[in-house]
Amino acid sequence: MVHGSGGRAGRGRRAQAGLTPIGAHLRALAVIGAALLVGLLVIGCAGPAPSSSAVDETVRRFRVTSTVRPLSAEDLTALAQDAQLAMEAAGVTEATATATNDGLEIHLAGTGAQADDIVRRLLLAEGSMRLLDPGDTMPEDGTTVDPAWPVLMDGSKVDGTSVHLERDDQGLRVVFSVRPEAANAFSTWTNEHLGQSFVIALDDRVLSAPMIQSTIRLEDMAITTPSDEETVRLAAALRAAGGVTLVPLGG
């Protein structure tokens, strides 16, 4: 059948009219799709939201000085191991201590204030270790020191470079060496006081009061305290009294 021009135009108009609603829907879908794509791109650029479990890391550095002798790389490595052991003993997690060319570097999880508190308690702790003569008394561990007890030796007679922490089946202990002149004087005193006790005190508190059963040589000594916290503090105090100083350099 042959159609005239009018018929074809009518059918074209009817076809166009039939397509118009579908085209409108397609355009609407296209707009929605573009909006979603932009949203996804914005989210992708922003990246994942910070995790609430993320914690800050603080770095503390120290220069280590000694009035006893120049410190070697081995000395600084041993000091870093002591710092690591002290933090582990105190339950400080996510912390590392490493030796540097002239000192120590510590990485701690937490804020600067938290890191400074840990460093102060474990590495810069203050205290006074003394060996005392209690006379005929045998004081119990943890009791208060009698101010009248003569001082046989204090921390200044310790070689600060020899102070280290060790852990064995008996627990955490601090080991150190005593200067020869002080060791000789104490040895003479113990030989003259067999059967008596002497007091090892930290500040004004008795850590222990061992009985003298034979002449005691103190060139090398090990002390175990009632708690890891006291052992760590004793090590820091002996190190400082014995001529080794940790100078904070900040972050």
Give the CATH number of the domain where residue 140 resides. Answer: 3.30.1360.200
224 has pLDDT over 60:
yes
The reported pTM is 0.72
Which domain range does residue 81 map to? 57-124
What pLDDT, in 10s, does the model give residues 182-200?
999 999 999 999 999 999 9
If asked whether residues 136 and 204 sit together in one domain, one would say yes
If asked whether residues 119 and 145 sit together in one domain, one would say no
Higher pLDDT, 38 or 68: 68
Higher pLDDT, 110 or 61: 61
**pLDDT at site 55:** 62
Output the average pLDDT for the chain: 81
**pLDDT at site 53:** 45
12 backbone dihedrals φ, ψ, rounded to 5°: -65, -40
**pLDDT at site 192:** 95
**Does residue 232 lie in a domain region?**
yes
Work out the pLDDT band at 7, boundaries 50, 70, 90: very low
**Does residue 174 lie in a domain region?**
yes
**Does residue 44 lie in a domain region?**
no
- Lookup: tokens for 29: 């879908």
- Lookup: tokens for 91: 């339950």
Q: Cα(108)–Cα(95) distance, rounded to whole angstroms?
A: 5
**Does residue 113 lie in a domain region?**
yes
**Does residue 36 lie in a domain region?**
no
Out of 124, 142, 171, a domain closes at: 124
Average pLDDT over residues 214-218: 85
Indicate left, alpha or beta for 142 from its phi (over 0: left) and psi (-120 to 50: alpha): left
Please give the angle made by the CA atoms of 28, 31 and 33, to the nearest 5 degrees: 110
CA torsion angle for 84, 89, 93, 96 (degrees, to 10)? 0
If asked whether residues 94 and 157 sit together in one domain, one would say no
**Does residue 186 lie in a domain region?**
yes
How many domains does the structure of the chain reveal? Answer: 2
**pLDDT at site 250:** 63
Cα atoms in the 13 Å half-sphere on the side-chain side of 65: 5
Out of 124, 146, 178, a domain closes at: 124
**Does residue 10 lie in a domain region?**
no
**Does residue 33 lie in a domain region?**
no
86 has pLDDT over 80:
yes
If asked whether residues 117 and 199 sit together in one domain, one would say no
If asked whether residues 182 and 159 sit together in one domain, one would say yes
